[in-house]
Structures are given as structure tokens and as C-alpha cells.
Amino acid sequence: MSICSKRQRKFRFSLAAVLGLMAYFGFVSTSLAQAGTWKVCQEGWCDYITIQAAISAASTVTGDTVLVSGGTYYELVSFDGSKTITLKTTAGAVIDGDIDQDGAGDGSVVSFLNGNSSTIDGFTIQHGEAPVGGGIYGGYGSSPTISCCTIVGNTANSGGGIYIRGSTITNCIITNNTSNHVGGGIHVSGSTVTNCVLANNTANHEGGAIFDFPLGKPAGEGYSVTLDFLEPSYNGSKCGWAYHPGEDWDAAECPDCDKYAPVWAISDGVIEEAKLFHKNWGRIVLVRHDAPTESSFVLPEGGTIDTVWSQYAHMYSISDNPRTGTIWQAGDVIYKGEQIGTVGDYPAGSGENYHLHFEIRKKNYRATIFPCNTYPDDIEEIEKRYIAPTDFINLNR
């Protein structure tokens, strides 16, 4: 947050000075505009007085920048289709989704529709209310870039702040957003979330916001899934082709950036196994998570479950239990966000292919169980025993 807010403060001053001079000399802003840059201000002497008018104008084309002066813009902003533009404010402009200012939001504040891949930078996005994505909604196939934005005080059934797939979100503050079902702050998949602050977001469903991701605390920042749940992979001549029963998590920036990175407990639980297994597995910790009394966890495929197990494999080391001073062992109680271990290599000791193999299970099996030779059959059998990890966490956080 510090980089963006400093930059915004600095530019706010200089932009105000420039605008002041322009007003003094009676210039219209277009006389100074670079080709492909359109200006929006509420005073009426810019190219446009609303953000949506600037985005929708026939003269605004792919590659253009829409530069917005300070102030609060009560409108819903929508990017549509293949017109890819950069919407930017260096003056801390606010887009407010309660357009009639009656205290109830009137839709998603910013939407990216029909595969749009625009960029939005520097805004505060607030007071949106929609079924999905109160602050920002990304439709199927969209891949926007969202940077240096503050997403605050938005409401939805899913993804109070942001509901999106396939986006890049960096240097954002996502706070005080609410969902009535899942994803208080964000409900994202296939996205990269880097250097963001997520705080005081609420999901009002049974169980509450109680799971997080095992790497990149908070919210999996800087990590991505490189081998997905149920993706077929070859596991050596003994095991053959099999559907992957979990997710492989890797650092997004470079292949070995995750070497010895801290692995976090995804929720409160009790450790069932924690030890060094054979060469293919390295160190594994298996944790049982019981839903709080009179509540359940929500399953991505529908329905609920009262107990799940998280498994963290190929680890280089197992961390100490901070309450006993010795490494985690079976029977220890662990809390969400406590360090479980560090990311190791595969096969163990090879010095290459650092990643976390991460599973969430519906059943109580020994730590090393793996569904070998299952491809191309038995996908239903695996789905009876395992849960898609990222989907599950997004539903229960």
C-alpha cells in the first residue's frame, strides 16, 4: 500500500497544479492531451465528465488511456469486449456504486465483460452491491489488471469486494467488504494476487472466514497452481498415469523462488501425521480440521462436510510447535496461519522442482496415500475422497 499511496499523493499535488494552471489560462485539456489519452473531470472542461462516457466513446480505442481527475464519480463503470484501455487516476478518484446516494449500492462498481482485458489503476472502488462481485466483477474469459486500488465497503452474495477469474491484482487494499455467502473480500480463481492487503472482510455463511491458502500469506499472494486438481500426470513406472488428487503450488515469479518458503496451516486443526517419508514424498504433515460446533464446511460440488484433512507434501522441513518448542507431531493442536514447514523439492533431495503438493481430503487416510494408475478411469472415486483445494478454500474463507 505504501508505494501506491505515496505515488498518488505526489501526483495529486502535481496534477492539481497543472489543472490549476490550465484553468487559469483558459486551456481546454484536449489541447495538452497526448494522442490516445482522454481526460475525465467533473468541472466540464475535460473531454468527458463521466468515466463511462470516456470508455464507451467511439473515439476511445484499444491502447488508449483514460485519465481521471480527483473527485467522487457516482456511476457504474463497465468495460466490454475487445476494447482494451487503461483507466487511471493519479489524483485518488473514487468510483461509488451507490449512484443515487440512497445508501444502497446499485450494481457492481466496475465490470469487465465479454473477455475484456483492460487495466484499472489508482481508484477507490466503493459502495457496490450485486449478486456477485460488489466492487469488481470479472465475467467469464475476462483477464483485467487491477493495481493500486482500494476496494472498500462493497457487498455481494459471492465476492463482496472482487469476484473474478484470470486477473492480475497487485498493490490493492481490499477491506470492509461483505458477502452473504462466500468470499467476503475476494472470490478469485486462476488469478495472481500480489502485495495486497486483505482486512476486515466478512463472509456471512456457516463456518465464517476460517480457511486460507498454504503459501503466500495472506490469500496465496505470489503463488499459483501449476498442476491442478484432477489434472492427469505421470508418476513414474510403478504408479503410472493418475489424476492429481490435489494441487501443486509454485511461486509465480520464478521456479525456485519457493525454495524453503514457509508453508502455513490453512485452518485450525489437529496434526495426525508429521514426518519424513520416502524419497518421492519428502516430509508430509497431515492435519484434521473439524468444523466449529453446530456448523459445517461448504463443499465446492454442493453440500457440506463436518471434517476435512489437509495434506502438505514434498516439504524440506517441519517447523516447531511454538507452544512446545519441538517439531510438530501427531496430536498437536495447530492454528490457522502457524508455520507447518518449508517448501522442498521433488523427488526429495534432487535440488530441483521445488513446490508444495497440497491436498484437501474428505476421508481419513494415511498421509502417503496416492491414487495410482487411475487414468483414464475412476475420476468419481477420487472425487469421493478428495476436494478441489482452491475452490474449497475460496468457499470457506
H or E, element range at 94: strand 94-96
- Judged by CB under 5 A, the residue of 212, 221, 258, 272 near Ca ion is 258
Cβ proximity to Zn ion: between 283 and 357 the closer is 357
Q: How many residues can be counted in the chain?
A: 397
| Part in contact with Ca ion (CB under 5 A); list of ranges 227-235, 240-248, 283-291, 348-356 | 348-356
Of the candidate residues 24, 31, 82, 100, the single one contacting Ca ion (CB under 5 A): 100
Determine the interface stretch with Ca ion among 67-75, 98-106, 133-141, 286-294 (rule: CB under 5 A).
Answer: 98-106
Pull the grid cell for residue 48: 468527458
User: Can you tell me the distance from the alpha carbon of 277 to that of 262, in angstroms, rounded to the nearest whole number?
Assistant: 19
- Break the chain down into helix, strand, coil percent, rounded to 5: 15, 35, 50
Q: Which three cell numbers stand for residue 9?
A: 499523493
Tell me the window of 93-101, 260-268, 329-337, 379-387 that interacts with Ca ion (CB under 5 A): 93-101
> Applying CB under 5 A, which part among 58-66, 141-149, 217-225, 242-250 lies near Zn ion?
242-250
Q: Taking the complex as a whole, how short is the minimal distance between the CB of residue 109 and Ca ion, in angstroms?
A: 12
DSSP assignment, residue 286?
E
Tell me if 377 contacts Ca ion by CB under 5 A: no
Q: State how far the Cα of 84 lies from the Cα of 91, in Å rounded to an integer.
A: 22
Query: Which one of Ca ion, Zn ion, none interacts with residue 357, CB within 5 to 8 A by kind?
Result: Zn ion
Under the criterion CB under 5 A, does residue 106 sit at the interface with Ca ion? yes
Kindly state whether residue 205 participates in binding Zn ion, applying the rule CB under 5 A.
no
For 215, other C-beta atoms within 10 Å of its C-beta total: 24
The answer to whether the bond into 262 is cis (omega within 30° of 0) is: no
Does residue 357 belong to the site contacting Zn ion (CB under 5 A)? yes
Cα(218)–Cα(327) distance, rounded to whole angstroms? 23
Determine how many CB atoms are found less than 10 A away from the CB of residue 35. 5
Question: Alpha-carbon distance 86 to 55, whole Å?
Answer: 9
CA dihedral 356, 259, 314, 360 (to 10 degrees): -20
Count of residues of this chain found to bind Zn ion when the rule CB under 5 A is applied: 2
- Residue 102 binds what, of Zn ion, Ca ion, none (CB under 5 to 8 Å, by partner type)? Ca ion
The reply on whether position 248 binds Zn ion by CB under 5 A is yes
Which residues, numbered 273-302, are part of the site for Ca ion (CB under 5 A)? none
Residue 248: name its binding partner from Zn ion, Ca ion, none (Cβ under 5 to 8 Å by kind).
Zn ion
Residue 24's φ and ψ, nearest 5 degrees, are -60, -45
Of 73-81, 157-165, 318-326, 352-360, which segment contacts Zn ion by CB under 5 A?
A: 352-360
Binding residues vs Ca ion (CB under 5 A): 98, 100, 102, 104, 106, 250, 255, 258, 354-355
Binding residues vs Zn ion (CB under 5 A): 248, 357
